[in-house]
A and B are shown apart, each in its own frame.
Chain A
């Protein structure tokens, strides 16, 4: 019994890690297996590593282009969200004005529409603005869901910082904006990092808007490009998996790099004056 007590958690965590990590591992292994061997009896360990799929991805399919597009769209959306969203969240968290609660509720309500239901109106809107198949044509719709997320996360984060810190800064002669910039923002870095990564991942993986508002490969993002790999008669599984690995790796890397900050951000509230 005591044995079980000690090893129980380890086993549970181990199984969880296995369940989560295995698909990714399998994708990596398969992406390194020659096309012809993909449908043979599967093997847990690659017998031979070939980079054919990756070569094809970048040489034939110009996979750099969707990666570039995704970086530009997700990066800009995130940067814009954090910049504007943090100011907005700060106002909602700290300033006194009328209709604060309704505004917060409204911001949340905006995200409640199923994406599919606003694709057509958004399409018409973007077409009228001449933004179909452009970067702004993706960044703007992405803001509709990324911005509320940012604002909500940051509002709760800012609320946890003691108000006396900015009051002290203002008594010291700083304007509210200066106090925000010099005191609140540096103390909110964990929260900002968390928010930025969540937003980035969300935008990186977004499919429906990207598919609907782009016309050709020169503006398509990674998920759209991968979806369009499949030809009329065959599905290039090897390349798809290679693309999936290429698309996931940077995000996973980012999360690992900022892991400590994110955990801090999610467990914030322990900032002491």
Chain B
């Protein structure tokens, strides 16, 4: 295994489409970094550049400290799992798994041993003599993974490897992947647009928007201290509530005012800041309270049952356009159409610059 480093990597496609801008990312040896972002933000492009299937138009890529920017894919010693599986249709599962080992000229008995081992790990033993067309989607997915894990590459590149599985199989395979990662001490770059997957799998999460890295940090850090409004809105489900308003600092300390709500106490210290700002509050950080001490009064619109919790959709009474999502315990005393008062947990407020969206506190 080896580290993977991107240095100021940029990619502009021949048609002018910019898919990566000035990207800096250092993946340690044995680390699993999850690359997340909305559709079309450049995740696959980044992965393909590391694999050597796409040439960066700026910057360098290093694998194990060695500059591989101009190295063709076959000499980079990486294993890639494609979103579409890309299994070889004319080869049996066994030959699909063995192909990469044959290309590396391993001895036949070593190939046999590794293929059997990978097949056992992924529960493919019964299927070794079938062709890909005779497999179910989930089985193909596992073959695609198997084709990567039989190798002992410098790094694994996985492009939405679970996207086509049903919910149950997805959870199962996700756990399997986490286990493989630990067991092999594998360096992995894992692409997904599913932020829950990112939070549960990644040692670190790299959030990408429009070809630009927004934040690279541990899942907890990304969740607790999102670096900007985009990350705040993208990570976490249901999504964070955002209030546009004005941050002012006077004698009594900082206060935040918006059309929906006004926060005078406990805003915390935001050194020397005043001006347009965005307040972020996660749905579970909203509490019920009586209307006198409330930060905000709102009308309950819809209540959704999430299993052990409920998701409440609110609309601020002072500002009709402001909707709020709150998550509370099942026995929360709310009813549809009722007007309630809510408080924001002062420990967990997020303030962002009203212009650039950068985190302030």
Interface residues of A, Cβ cutoff 8 Å to B:
162, 164-165, 167-176, 178, 182-183, 186-187, 271-273
Contacts and interface: CB of A to CB of B under 8 A. Distances in A.
Interface string B69-90: 0001110011110101111111
Interface centre among A173, A182, A183, A187, by most chain B C-beta atoms within 10 angstroms, is: A173
Given A167-B53, A167-B73, A272-B133, A174 B103 contact: yes
Contact of B100 (A164, A172, A187, A272): A172
B235 interface: no
A119 to B, nearest CB: 43
Given A165-B88, A186-B90, A187-B89, A174 B82 contact: no
Interface string B265-287: 00000000000000000000000
Contacts of A187: 89-90
Given A168-B147, A173-B103, A273-B82, 17 more contacts: A164-B82, A164-B84, A164-B86, A165-B86, A168-B80, A168-B87, A169-B103, A170-B52, A170-B53, A170-B72, A170-B74, A171-B51, A171-B73, A172-B100, A172-B147, A173-B100, A174-B103
14 contacts: A162-B84, A165-B89, A167-B80, A167-B82, A168-B88, A169-B103, A170-B53, A170-B74, A171-B52, A171-B74, A173-B77, A175-B72, A183-B88, A272-B133
B182 interface: no
A271 B89 contact: yes
**Contact residues of B: prevailing secondary structure:** mixed
A273 B103 contact: no
Contacts of B99: 169, 172, 174, 182
Interface of B: 51-53, 72-74, 77-80, 82, 84-90, 99-100, 103-104, 132-133, 147, 151, 157
Contacts of B79: 171-172
5 closest Cβ contacts across the A-B interface?
Answer: A173-B103, A172-B100, A164-B86, A168-B86, A171-B80
B91 to A, nearest CB: 8
Contacts of A164: 82, 84, 86
Nearest to A171: B80
Contacts of B74: 170-175
B151 to A, nearest CB: 8
A273 B100 contact: no
Contact of B103 (A172, A176, A271, A272): A172
Contacts of A182: 99
Contact of B86 (A167, A175, A178, A186): A167
Nearest to A168: B86
Q: Which of A162, A172, A174, A187: most chain B CB closer than 10 A?
A: A172
A98 B100 CA distance: 32
A272 B85 CA distance: 10
A104 B130 CA distance: 39
B218 to A, nearest CB: 29
Contacts of A169: 88, 99, 103
A183 B100 CA distance: 12
A173 B104 contact: yes
A273 B73 contact: no
A169 B53 CA distance: 11
Identify which of B86, B104, B151 gathers the most chain A CB atoms within 10 Å of its CB: B86
Most chain B CB atoms below 10 A, which of A164, A178, A187, A271: A164
Nearest to B88: A183
A271 B86 CA distance: 11
Contacts of A271: 89
Contacts of A171: 51-53, 73-74, 78-80, 157
Contacts of A186: 90
B103 A162 contact: no
B136 to A, nearest CB: 14
A169 B99 CA distance: 8
A273 B84 contact: yes
Contacts of B78: 171
Contacts of A183: 88
A82 B73 CA distance: 28
Contacts of A272: 89, 133
B67 to A, nearest CB: 19
A18 B349 CA distance: 85
